[in-house]
Amino acid sequence: MKYYEKQDTIVAIATPNGKGAIAIVRLSGKDSLSVANAIFKGNPLKDRLVTYGYIIDNNTKIDEVNIVYMKAPRTYTGEDTVEIYCHGSMYVAQRVVEACVKHGARLAMPGEFTKTAFLNGKLDLSQAEAVIDVINASTQSAKDIALNQLSGRLKNSITTLMVLLTRCIAQIEVTVDYPEEDIEDVTIDASLETVGKVLEYVNKAIAQSERGKIFKSGIRCAIVGQPNVGKSSLLNAILGESRAIVTSVAGTTRDTLEAHIDISGVEVILTDTAGIRESGDYVEKIGVDRAYEAANNAHLILFVLDMSKEIDGRDIELYNHIKHKPNVIVLNKEDVTIDNYEKQLSKLDMSDNKDIVTISASESMGINTLEEKIFELFNKDSSISAGEIELSNVRHIDAINKAQKSLLTAQETLLSRMPVDLAVVDIRDALHALGEITGENVDEDVINTIFSEFCVGK
């Protein structure tokens, strides 16, 4: 492995802003040890040995610390690294950073430690992106996807596909270079098999990518219905707190109200919407428009019906508007339901929709069942087998879609039994697209954009 040659030694605080028990100041670069020695008073620093002492600046004691020196290349960045564990005061940590800068280090840019690790071959680009996803993960599912990617699972899967395509290209080129061997038909058949195998992986990854994006970023769930059916009460019941104003006055909710909740390790972004009805009130009309917008942008719609009232034309019209999207019919006011509500439901064109949950939002009855239904709808294929690709990053999904397009064109060329070398261009394009995921085929602007999203100390 040829290591990235960076002359600077960088320094930054690696722990969050604010007070805490410990703050970590991180140095990385060829002069890390000399910078540390210039400001540290204690026993000599040895590789991977925790050493106790003091940070000194101009003969003034800054703090009592533990310090660890780690020799390259067996470090996160692939460079000599020093970590200083001081007391968790931002003032103290900043003084330690200032002392490091005085003795030759410079302040790190956002994501520069991880960027250095990528450039030194310690991580591929998909793993580097997973670092920020782990940091930003707010639920179990988001964390699991990010950790799988950080462990190299995505990298290994993509590398396997790239090896198959590279061998395929090599075999085609041999056929072209030695046409007298008359092996073109054999090469076409072998290439078709390889392209088909890679396409199978790619198609499955694309099919699962929506699940990956949702589990990473959250399920957008809109609560929709006529005024006074209990939408705001439902939001409050799910959250277990009074976030939305609830009154008996129709049209109380004039705007969308968003709240986040963790359901079985998955983030659900709930949006309470204005009751949908005809209104001469200008402000209420805006609220109704936003309700439709929230429904159109949602992954899932909770369509709330009032079981104490008969289903009317407005309910039917509204359900017809949203029924093409994943939805759960929420029958509210179970405690005051009218007789034979199943007959009322027959007014809706529900086809085979079995996703119906009965609740009483005011009494918090049936809420657990509703939460289980929400999770079930988006976790039908929860297991990802070894070797399969699970994508959640928009850049990765775009790249694999490009790979799919090129592979389909190559497959068409091979099936038509055209000269085998005509398929090489598309196979190379697919190979290049897959390389964008791991970072083999990305330009510097893309790399800089990715790492600019990181915090300074990472």
Can you give the residue ranges of every domain in the chain? 10-123, 133-214+387-452, 217-377
Nearest to 100 by CA among 73, 82, 88, 77: 82
**pLDDT means per 10 residues in the chain (458 residues)?**
66 91 96 96 95 94 96 95 96 96 94 92 89 82 83 89 94 76 76 94 88 82 86 85 53 64 85 66 61 84 87 85 87 74 76 78 87 82 54 90 96 90 93 92 84 81
Q: Three-state SS for 419?
A: coil
pLDDT for the residue numbered 278: 56
Identical fold between 10-123 and 217-377: no
Instruction: Look at strands 219-224 and 266-272 and give their pairing.
Output: parallel
In terms of CATH architecture, what is 10-123? 2-Layer Sandwich (3.30)
Distance of alpha carbon 240 from its chain centroid, rounded?
A: 27
Q: Three-state SS for 44?
A: coil
CA distances from residue 337 to 307, 334, 341 in whole angstroms, order as listed: 5, 5, 7
13 and 25 in contact (C-beta within 8 Å)? yes
* Gap between the Cα atoms of 377 and 24, Å rounded: 43
pLDDT for the residue numbered 415: 92
84 and 98 in contact (C-beta within 8 Å)? no
* Gap between the Cα atoms of 225 and 215, Å rounded: 26
300 and 374 in contact (C-beta within 8 Å)? yes
Residue 199 CB partners (closer than 8 Å, separation 6+): 404, 407, 408, 411
In terms of CATH architecture, what is 133-214+387-452? Up-down Bundle (1.20)
H or E stretch at 424: helix 424-438
**Cis, peptide link before residue 73, omega less than 30° from 0:** yes
276 and 292 in contact (C-beta within 8 Å)? yes
- Locate the DSSP E strands across 89-135: 106-107
Distance of alpha carbon 404 from its chain centroid, rounded?
A: 21
pLDDT for the residue numbered 250: 46
For 444, half-sphere exposure in the C-beta direction (CA atoms, 13 angstrom radius) is 0
In terms of CATH architecture, what is 217-377? 3-Layer(aba) Sandwich (3.40)
